[in-house]
Amino acid sequence: MQSVAFTEEEKARIEAICQRYPTRQSAVMPVLWMAQEKFGSLSAPVLRLVADTLGLPPAHVEGVATFYTMYLTERKAKWLVEICTCFTCGECGGRELWDYAHKKLGLNEEGVSSDGVFWFREAECLGACDTPPVVQIEGRRMVFSVTPEKLDQVLEGLRKAELPSFESVPPRTPLS
């Protein structure tokens, strides 16, 4: 099991983050993100580490981590894939894409593929209503105008540990 500790360099980064805010409590979100990037999820020991590092009550840190869907208090598979099914994406193929993923990958009731590699969740608006449907990988990489074929390509890349590039953004049409 991986040791749950920040390196001296990471502690220095956390202190630099704290300097940007009026209180250490205000720095909890970027520090949680940093911890999730390092450890893969925000388990109870990781949440305690963040709380101790920031000098905050553990309940406060846990409350923030469990309120926002971008924080993962448990990891259910290697890759988190979120499909936007909000109104625009839902009406422009997001629902069908969700159904396609369910059927193709044999997702269980928690959205985990039968091989345990992918964890799918529905996402609320990802802020790219002009390029629906949108898929978000690991809360940090978005793919636009996703078709079933494009989703297959993304998943094939993820199996090789390759995140999709931002070149998947279609050209925008300038307003007249």
Domain ranges of the chain: 8-67, 79-168
Predicted local distance difference test score (pLDDT) of residue 165 = 76
22-31: long-range contacts, CB 8 A cutoff, minimum separation 24: 24/54, 24/55, 24/56, 25/54, 25/56, 25/60, 27/54, 28/54, 28/56, 28/60, 28/61, 28/64, 29/64, 29/68
Predicted local distance difference test score (pLDDT) of residue 176 = 46
Predicted local distance difference test score (pLDDT) of residue 139 = 82
- Burial code (b: 16+ CB inside 10 Å, e: under 16) for 82-111 equals bbbbbebbbebbbeebbebbeeebebeeeb
Q: Provide the 10 A C-beta neighbour count for residue 129.
A: 14
Predicted local distance difference test score (pLDDT) of residue 140 = 80
pLDDT tens for the 176 residues of the chain, in order:
557 999 999 999 999 999 999 999 999 999 999 999 999 899 999 999 999 999 999 999 999 999 988 898 988 999 999 999 999 999 999 999 999 999 999 999 999 999 999 999 999 888 899 999 999 998 888 999 999 999 999 999 999 999 887 545 554 555 54
Put simply, whether the predicted model's pTM sits higher than 0.85 gets the answer no
8-67 topology per CATH: Arc Repressor Mutant, subunit A (1.10.10)
CATH says 79-168 is which class? Answer: alpha beta
Domains 8-67 and 79-168 belong to one CATH topology = no
